[in-house]
A = this chain, B = another copy of it.
Amino acid sequence: MPVTIETIREAQERISPYSLRTPCLRLNSLDEFLGCQVYVKAECMQITGAFKLRGALNKLLSLPREQLQGGVVAASSGNHGRAVAYGAKLLGASAAIVMPRTAPGIKIDGIRSLGAEVVLCDVSQRFRVAEELCRERNAAMVPPFNDPAVMAGQGTAGIELVEQCPPLDMVVVPVSGGSLLGGVSAAVKALSPETRVFGAEPEALPRYSASLSAGGPVTVERHATVADALASDTPGSLCFPLVQKHADGVVPVDDAFTLRGMKLLLLEGKLLAEPSSCIGIGAVLQGRLPVSPGMKVCFLISGGNVGLDQLDLLK
């Protein structure tokens, strides 16, 4: 099933009773720092603290009810897991979330507080461990990306930001596996073809920059990044063609600029977002995106699940 504006609209209808239409804010205070007119789509204010709720809910609500009886399983760096835990609770299903040992404590706690089981493992093993659990328990898998229902769900943020903002010159989206960028770029290009849509990814894990150059999905060497929610080493095989078709490019961003973006968003914009969410602002600070003073640019702030201890990174 391809991801199109129609499947994204269907997703919107399916999830809207259970998710928020998050605000789109004009942050004038950031204009002079970024050299453009700054808008943010505040998915950090989404229920469960991240856009991931959109895709997880669309997937869960698309599953036949009997498939939920064995519970659901998800592999996640944190935000998808919390979204799945929330959706499972809503539907009365049990949930097990497989997370990297390196996930921030606040993300692990957030998932446990929703009644889900947390299984910790090495970051590279999380998909294998999740698949085993699924088989053992006869549970339904809710993939974090690379699933048409998940991708269409994430795309609903794209419909909203086009409706909420004045005509935009550019939208900037954090990238990991590529569901968010794939879904949002498909939605934005259908509704506002003249708006350019860019992805931003950690320079330490340039899976999309490398794959777009190579013309097909490439796996990059795994390196640590402060953008803990952008942990994929490979584009999703279903996400990649969507990104390739609709997005105008993906730029790599140094962690230092991502953190500078987070500090700027917090102290000048007054919004708390996790490092991964600020990578688009970091891309502009690093001079990686073609912005100019008259341009209206919307940054998708993907999540806000960050602990006070992590704010020490900004000092």
Contacts and interface: CB of A to CB of B under 8 A. Distances in A.
A95 interface: no
A23 interface: yes
Contacts of A49: 29, 270
Contacts of A44: 270
A49 to B, nearest CB: 8
A44 B266 CA distance: 11
Nearest to A23: B25
B314 A308 contact: yes
A interface, size bucket:
20 to 34
Interface string A1-23: 00000000000000000001001
Nearest to A46: B29
Nearest to A272: B270
Interface string A285-309: 0000000000000000000100111
Number of copies: 2
A229 interface: no
A28 interface: yes
A134 interface: no
Nearest to A314: B308
A42 B270 contact: yes
Q: Which of A20, A263, A266: most chain B CB closer than 10 A? A: A266
Given A29-B47, A45-B270, A271-B271, 17 more contacts: A20-B28, A23-B25, A29-B45, A29-B49, A42-B270, A44-B270, A266-B272, A267-B272, A267-B308, A270-B271, A270-B272, A270-B273, A270-B304, A272-B272, A308-B311, A308-B315, A311-B311
A27 interface: yes
Interface in A265-280: 266-267, 269-273
A273 B270 CA distance: 7
A27 B44 CA distance: 11
Contacts of A267: 272, 307-308
A47 B49 CA distance: 27
8 contacts: A23-B23, A23-B25, A28-B47, A29-B45, A49-B270, A271-B272, A308-B315, A311-B311
